[in-house]
């Protein structure tokens, strides 16, 4: 199998984009990635589009076919990939396999979601469609509700504190304020909003013990990457290619109550281990990570289950500043889902785009991980029942 590299990465600012359709956003991000690759529209053999909810939210299906036509890429192959919040990483994985096999030479992967058309309980209900249709959804189970229960169990088992959760929110919102693509560009402290000394952060309880600022926003947005073989990338790319050194994917039971230990994110551990094994690396070889922090608890739990910290040590690491820029192991220097936003189909692709920017050393000093050579992404589907991880490495 051929080694696969990323030669183009593009994104559009996440947030509320009333002026754009879903297809507009996917097209803009795709064109940014193609321009970044320096290849225009020529040579694209296949397009994979990650999207979870167009059929529900926009009453639109066959999004991949529509994007190929919109970009004038006919007769390129087109496939849509739906895997809940892990749709983005799943689409990239499919693209990687297509290039690695030698069947396609150049693949465009785009992920997008337009979610701000619905807000409040409707948005919560949309995301809840990934819960079990017989034993969870009919009884009002939601993803924030699951996260609240998971957090309470994690607190009791590992002595996780509320201050440690707050530390994640403060860190990620600070980084989001520095990211031009982020949905939430507001720095918060324990006392209020920075630059507004009279403010008091309105941070009500959302799903005990999680508060509003423990959760990511509902966002519109899109991101895209261009893949080809590493051999080709070294010949045509004017920027350092980023090698997809390893990937892994694993599943767990659909319902939390069927798991032996609901605090054990087995799919995270398995997917991460597969990615490290394929890359012939260990967590100690990674310089930074983009983790799926739809809820602050997930950044902490994933950092432990992926092997970057021992169980019960992730929260302490955040509190000590070890996961901040310049710390022992920076996490979510993009602001994460918490601040960059979470248009579910786009998230897994956006994580990879952010890592590409880091590995090419293209960011400012306020976000760039010094000397970054190896990065890691983890895209969390459902409540840990379908997880995809990548190890990405700068190819000199």
- Summarize pLDDT for 248-285 with one digit per residue, the tens: 999 999 988 899 999 999 999 999 999 999 999 999 99
Whether the predicted pLDDT of 126 surpasses 50: yes
- What's the pLDDT score for residue 193? 52
Task: List the one residue out of 8, 9, 11, 15 whose CA is nearest residue 340.
Answer: 15
* Residue-wise burial string across 43-80, b where 16 or more C-beta atoms lie within 10 A, e elsewhere: bbbbbbbbbbbbeebbebeebbebbbeebebeebbbeb
Q: How confident is the model at residue 117 (pLDDT cuts 50, 70, 90)?
A: confident
Domain topology for 4-119+218-236: Peroxisomal Thiolase; Chain A, domain 1 (3.40.47)
Q: Are 347 and 91 in contact (CB under 8 A)?
A: no
Distance CA 382, CA 358 (A): 28
Distance CA 82, CA 52 (A): 5
pLDDT tens digits for range 92-110: 999 999 999 999 999 999 9
- What's the pLDDT score for residue 40? 75
Higher pLDDT among residues 38 and 192, named by residue: 38
Give residue 245's region: left, alpha or beta (phi > 0; psi -120 to 50): alpha
Q: Are 202 and 212 in contact (CB under 8 A)?
A: yes
What is the average pLDDT value for the chain, to the nearest integer? 94
Whether the predicted pLDDT of 1 surpasses 60: yes
Cα 204–chain centre separation: 26
One-letter-per-residue 3-state SS of the chain: CCCEEEEEEEECCCECCCCCCHHHHHHHHHHHHHHHHCCCCCCCCEEEEECCCHHHHCCCCCHHHHHHHHCCCCCCEEEEECECECHHHHHHHHHHHHHHCCCCCCEEEEEEEECCCCCCHHHHHHHHCCCCCCCCHHHCCCHHHHHHHHHHHHHHHHCCCHHHHHHHHHHHHHHHCCCCCCCCCCCECCCCECCCCCCCCCCCEEECCEEHHHECCCCEEEEEEEEEEHHHHHHHCCCCCEEEEEEEEEECCCCHHHCCCCCCCHHHHHHHHHHHHHHCCCHHHCCEEEECCCEHHHHHHHHHHCCCCCCCCHHHHHHHCCCCCCCCCCECCCCHHHHHCCCHHHHHHHHHHHHHHHHCCCCCCCCCCCCCCEEEEEEEECCCCEEEEEEEEECC
pLDDT tens digits for range 2-16: 999 999 999 999 999
Q: Copy the structure tokens of residue 67.
A: 């994007």
Q: How confident is the model at residue 198 (pLDDT cuts 50, 70, 90)?
A: very low
Distance CA 275, CA 389 (A): 6
Residue 185: count other Cβ atoms within 10 Å of its Cβ. Answer: 17
Count Cα atoms within 13 angstroms, Cβ side, for 9. Answer: 22
Task: List the one residue out of 354, 81, 111, 366 whose CA is nearest residue 219.
Answer: 111
Stretch 71-85: mean pLDDT, rounded?
97
Distance CA 130, CA 125 (A): 10
Residue 322: count other Cβ atoms within 10 Å of its Cβ. Answer: 19
């Amino acid at each position: 199998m051929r080694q696969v590299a990323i030669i183009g990465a593009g994104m559009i600012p996440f947030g509320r984009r009333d002026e754009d359709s879903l297809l507009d956003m996917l097209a803009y991000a795709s064109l940014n990635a193609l321009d970044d690759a320096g290849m225009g529209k020529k040579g694209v053999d296949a397009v994979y589009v990650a999207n979870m909810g167009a059929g529900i939210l926009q009453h639109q299906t066959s999004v991949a076919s529509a994007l190929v036509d919109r970009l004038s890429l006919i007769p390129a192959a087109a496939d849509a990939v739906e895997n809940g919040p892990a749709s983005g990483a799943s689409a990239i994985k499919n693209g990687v396999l297509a290039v690695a096999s030698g069947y396609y030479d150049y693949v465009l992967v785009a992920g997008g979601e337009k979610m701000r058309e619905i807000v409040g309980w409707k948005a919560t209900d949309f995301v809840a469609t990934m819960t079990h249709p017989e034993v969870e959804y009919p009884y009002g189970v939601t993803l924030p509700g699951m996260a609240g229960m998971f957090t309470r169990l994690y607190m009791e088992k590992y002595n996780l504190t509320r201050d440690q959760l707050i530390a994640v929110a403060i860190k990620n919102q600070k980084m989001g304020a520095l990211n031009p693509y982020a949905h939430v560009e507001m720095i918060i402290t324990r006392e209020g909003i920075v630059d507004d000394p009279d403010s008091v952060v309105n941070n009500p309880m959302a799903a005990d013990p999680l508060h509003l600022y423990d959760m990511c926003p509902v966002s519109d947005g899109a991101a895209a990457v261009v893949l080809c073989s590493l051999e080709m990338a070294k010949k045509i790319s004017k920027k350092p290619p980023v090698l997809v050194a390893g990937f892994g994917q694993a599943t767990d039971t659909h319902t939390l109550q069927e798991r032996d230990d609901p605090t054990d994110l087995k799919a995270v551990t398995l997917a991460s281990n597969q990615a490290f094994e394929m890359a012939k690396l260990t967590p100690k070889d990674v310089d930074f990570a983009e983790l799926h922090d739809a809820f602050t608890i997930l950044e902490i739990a994933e950092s432990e289950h992926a092997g970057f910290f021992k169980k019960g040590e992730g929260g302490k690491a955040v509190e000590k500043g070890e996961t901040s820029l310049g710390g022992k192991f920076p996490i979510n220097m993009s602001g994460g889902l918490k601040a960059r936003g979470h248009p579910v189909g786009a998230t897994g692709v956006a994580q990879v785009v952010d890592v590409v920017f880091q590995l090419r050393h293209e960011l400012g000093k306020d976000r760039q991980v010094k000397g970054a050579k190896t990065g890691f992404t983890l895209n969390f589907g459902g409540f840990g029942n379908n997880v995809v991880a990548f190890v990405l490495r700068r190819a000199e």
